[in-house]
Amino acid sequence: MIIYADNAATTPMSEAAIRAMTPYLRECCGNPSSLYALGQAAREALDSARERIARCINAEPRSIIFTSGGSESDNQAILSAAANGKAKGKTHVITTSIEHHAVLHTAKKLQKQGFDVTYLPVGENGIVDINELEKAIRPDTCLVSVMTANNEIGTIQPVAQIGELCKERGVCFHTDAVQAVGHLPVDVAAQKIDMLSASAHKFHGPKGVGFLYAARGVKLVPLIEGGAQERNLRAGTENVAGIAAMAAALEESVANMHKNAKKLTRLRDKLIRGLSLIPHSALNGDAEKRLPSNVNFCFEGIEGESLLLLLDDKGISASSGSACTSGSLDPSHVLLAIGRPHAVAHGSLRLSLGEDANDEEVEYIISAVSEVVAYLRGFSPVWRDLNSGKGKFIL
Ligand SMILES: *Cc1c(COP(=O)(O)O)cnc(C)c1O
């Protein structure tokens, strides 16, 4: 038995997405830029996908451009807003200390180009304080980039309030909504979002395809030079099959969102209650303002990597920190940002449930994690020191 509990890293494709994709891999293989019927059929698939995706986030179809995924969308959004700002002499950017590396590393790149970047801290609950954001906005601020939901600890940011504030202050607002689209209600008009990044493989579409929403009036700068695809904003033959699958996956996720969220929230809270019984453990991030699928814990006295490997032996696929940081020795920047000390941040576990999760699986996860944590603590020198009074418990 394999329990896949790493849906924040990627999700399996839905049947609807696979069905939508196959014709464009086989007989309907035309290039959307070709004028004959096969090309035009591919063009129609793009138009239809654009309209349906736009409807899912309450946008105009012409505001959606297709990209290779969340990272590309984040890069293009941020670099575009920075270029637009620079043209007006505005070179200050605000983001948060818990963003995905696609945002953080792009912000670092801007700093090297002379931009001033403010990394807003978050509270212990992993949520940005709107008053702190308000204080950080300056006359030369050209962009606020705050993610909708965090990929590690699942915390949900007050996006509508941030959108309102940015509108009042005339600052462009970008949100990395990769973890939110298809899972939480997203309405770019109501939430006053100027730019939004999304990725198909986080909502049961294929990997390597995503989209960037840019409101009318927000000028995008292309990252890739070449043909005139996507109104000259993203060169390269479109990933027709992937885009068709992304639209099908998103429509299905949005249609079932309410039902899935309700079910997952119950299972998530059961998992949280079960894992909280492990001594010297703590939930990371706000208990309520979090994705219905996300559970993230720190266990004192153990290494997250060892925990993962032993859980894998028990058939559970989970994550420690984000997929990008595992393999490196640095603890998660998100856990450090919510105030977890290095020693504790190393012993973290992220479980992100899929819509097909059930009570039996959650119960199995609770018993497996409890057993493995106890086992690892049994020969952990750190744990021995804590218990003998040489070290001090933090959790
Ligand atoms: C997965 C993820 C990304 C990167 O998306 P890709 O499509 O894998 O490039 C960016 N931001 C967040 C919040 C994510 O979870």
Give the Å distances, CA to CA, from 199 to 85, 101, 137, 152, 209. 26, 15, 29, 16, 6
For residue 194, tell me if it sits in a domain. Answer: yes
Residue 296 CB–ligand 1 contact under 6 Å:
no
For residue 193, tell me if it sits in a domain. Answer: yes
What's the gap in Å between 395 CA and the centre of ligand 1?
A: 30
For residue 161, tell me if it sits in a domain. Answer: yes
Considering the domain architecture, whether residues 61 and 137 belong to the same structural domain is answered as: yes
Considering the domain architecture, whether residues 308 and 274 belong to the same structural domain is answered as: yes
Q: Whose CA is nearest to atom 6 of ligand 1?
A: 70
| Domain extent for 368 | 257-388
Provide the number of structural domains found in the chain. 2
User: Exposed, middle or buried: residue 132 (CB in 10 Å: 0-12, 13-18, 19+)?
Assistant: middle
Average pLDDT over residues 265-285: 98
Q: What is the 3-state secondary structure (H, E, C) of 148-207?
A: CECCCCCEECCHHHHHHHHHHHCCEEEEECCCCCCCCCCCCCCCCCCEEEEEHHHCCCCC
Considering the domain architecture, whether residues 175 and 51 belong to the same structural domain is answered as: yes
Considering the domain architecture, whether residues 100 and 78 belong to the same structural domain is answered as: yes
The answer to whether the beta carbons of residues 343 and 282 sit under 8 Å apart is no
Last-in-domain residue among 231, 255, 279: 255
What are the phi and psi torsion angles at 266 (to 5°)? -65, -45
Residue 327, pLDDT score = 52
Nearest atom in ligand 1 to the alpha carbon of residue 202 is 1
Residue 1, pLDDT score = 83
Residue 278 CB–ligand 1 contact under 6 Å:
no
For residue 1, tell me if it sits in a domain. Answer: no
Residue 370 confidence (pLDDT) above 90: yes
Considering the domain architecture, whether residues 223 and 296 belong to the same structural domain is answered as: no
Best mutation site among 67, 68, 71 for ligand 1, i.e. most ligand atoms within 8 A of its Cβ? 71
Residue 91 confidence (pLDDT) above 80: yes
Residue with tokens 């005139």: 228
Q: Which residues contact 309 (CB under 8 A, 6 or more apart)?
A: none
pLDDT digits (tens, 9 = 90+) for 145-204: 999 999 999 999 999 999 999 999 999 999 999 999 999 999 999 999 999 999 999 999
Considering the domain architecture, whether residues 91 and 164 belong to the same structural domain is answered as: yes
Residue 230 confidence (pLDDT) above 80: yes
What's the gap in Å between 183 CA and the centre of ligand 1?
A: 14
Residue 161, pLDDT score = 98
What CA–CA distance (Å, rounded) separates 375 from 372? 5
Residue 80 CB–ligand 1 contact under 6 Å:
no
Residue with tokens 């996720």: 253
Last-in-domain residue among 255, 285, 303: 255
Of all residues in the chain, the percent with pLDDT exceeding 90 is 96
Q: Which residues contact 274 (CB under 8 A, 6 or more apart)?
A: 362, 363, 365, 366, 370
Give one word for 204, left, alpha or beta, with left for phi > 0 and alpha for psi -120 to 50.
left
Residue 330, pLDDT score = 80
What's the gap in Å between 243 CA and the centre of ligand 1?
A: 17
Residue 325, pLDDT score = 47
Considering the domain architecture, whether residues 73 and 175 belong to the same structural domain is answered as: yes
Considering the domain architecture, whether residues 46 and 160 belong to the same structural domain is answered as: yes
Residue 324 confidence (pLDDT) above 70: no
Considering the domain architecture, whether residues 39 and 25 belong to the same structural domain is answered as: yes
Give the Å distances, CA to CA, from 253 to 154, 201, 246, 268. 18, 12, 10, 18
Residue 326 confidence (pLDDT) above 70: no
Considering the domain architecture, whether residues 90 and 63 belong to the same structural domain is answered as: yes
Last-in-domain residue among 216, 233, 255: 255
Residue 307, pLDDT score = 96
More confident site: 322 or 348: 348
Of all residues in the chain, the percent with pLDDT exceeding 70 is 98
For residue 394, tell me if it sits in a domain. Answer: no
What CA–CA distance (Å, rounded) separates 184 from 298? 25
Considering the domain architecture, whether residues 239 and 317 belong to the same structural domain is answered as: no
Question: In this structure, what CATH number is given to the domain that contains residue 347?
Answer: 3.90.1150.10
89 pLDDT tier (thresholds 50, 70, 90)? very high
Residue 107 CB–ligand 1 contact under 6 Å:
no
Pairing of the two strands 210-214 and 3-4: unpaired
pLDDT digits (tens, 9 = 90+) for 44-72: 999 999 999 999 999 999 999 999 999 99
The reported pTM is 0.97
Considering the domain architecture, whether residues 244 and 268 belong to the same structural domain is answered as: no
80 pLDDT tier (thresholds 50, 70, 90)? very high
What are the phi and psi torsion angles at 199 (to 5°)? -140, 130
For residue 344, tell me if it sits in a domain. Answer: yes
Residue 328, pLDDT score = 57
> Residue 95 belongs to what H/E stretch?
strand 92-96
Residue 153 CB–ligand 1 contact under 6 Å:
no
For residue 19, tell me if it sits in a domain. Answer: yes
229 pLDDT tier (thresholds 50, 70, 90)? very high
Q: In this structure, how many other beta carbons lie within 10 angstroms of the beta carbon of residue 201?
A: 23
Residue 329, pLDDT score = 67
What six digits make up the tokens of 172? 């462009």
Question: In this structure, what CATH number is given to the domain that contains residue 169?
Answer: 3.40.640.10
What CA–CA distance (Å, rounded) separates 243 from 247? 6
For residue 9, tell me if it sits in a domain. Answer: no
Q: Whose CA is nearest to atom 5 of ligand 1?
A: 70
